[in-house]
């Protein structure tokens, strides 16, 4: 490990955030390299300074003001409830849409399956049979359209 690699890891080394080989390599390096040892000492002093700066005391009455502020939120609808409401609304909407689709589908099915004037065949059946017949003879109508969308 060269000096640059060691110096980039010195903060983590001083914070005991390195382990295994890395830790041993850095320890071995700074025991022999004067520059890196000086850098480690300098960063250690800075760490000591930062750890020693006092945290300012809170102003008088802050705890009471914080509690009073919480009390103002007493009647506020919790966000979770709002989220649950939104989820319920979404679920109900989805169910309604599904039910509508099923009803419409059922209605169409009944309409299509209802006996018509063409000897009891459904409209869909007519179309399918017509297409099948067209495919075997000459392409007309929708079959031509489908063929036209294909790659040229």
Which of 4, 20, 31, 51 is the binder for other proteins (CB under 8 A)? 51
Residue with tokens 């022999």: 32
Residue 47 interacts with other proteins (CB under 8 A): yes or no: yes
Contacts (Cβ under 8 Å, ≥6 apart) of 18: 9, 12, 26
Residue 17 interacts with other proteins (CB under 8 A): yes or no: yes
> Which CB sits closer to other proteins, 50 or 147?
50
Contact indicator for 10, 43 with CB cutoff of 8 Å = yes
Residue 34 interacts with other proteins (CB under 8 A): yes or no: no
Residue 118 CA to residue 111 CA, distance in Å, equals 14
What's the closest the beta carbon of residue 100 comes to other proteins, in angstroms? 30
> Which CB sits closer to other proteins, 66 or 97?
66
């Amino acid at each position: 490990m060269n000096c640059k690699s060691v110096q980039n890891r010195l903060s983590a080394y001083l914070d005991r955030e390195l382990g295994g080989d890395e830790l041993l390599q850095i320890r071995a390096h700074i025991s022999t390299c004067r520059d890196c040892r000086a850098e480690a000492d300098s960063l250690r002093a800075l760490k000591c300074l930062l750890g020693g700066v006092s945290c300012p005391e809170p102003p008088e009455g802050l705890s009471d003001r914080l509690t009073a502020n919480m009390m103002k939120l007493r009647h506020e609808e919790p966000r979770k409830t709002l989220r649950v409401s939104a989820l319920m609304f979404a679920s109900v909407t989805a169910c309604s849409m599904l039910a509508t689709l099923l009803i419409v589908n059922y209605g169409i099915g009944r309409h299509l399956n209802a006996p018509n004037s063409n000897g009891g065949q459904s409209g869909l059946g007519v179309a399918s049979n017509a297409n099948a017949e067209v495919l075997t003879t000459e392409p007309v109508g929708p079959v031509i359209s489908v063929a036209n969308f294909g790659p040229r």
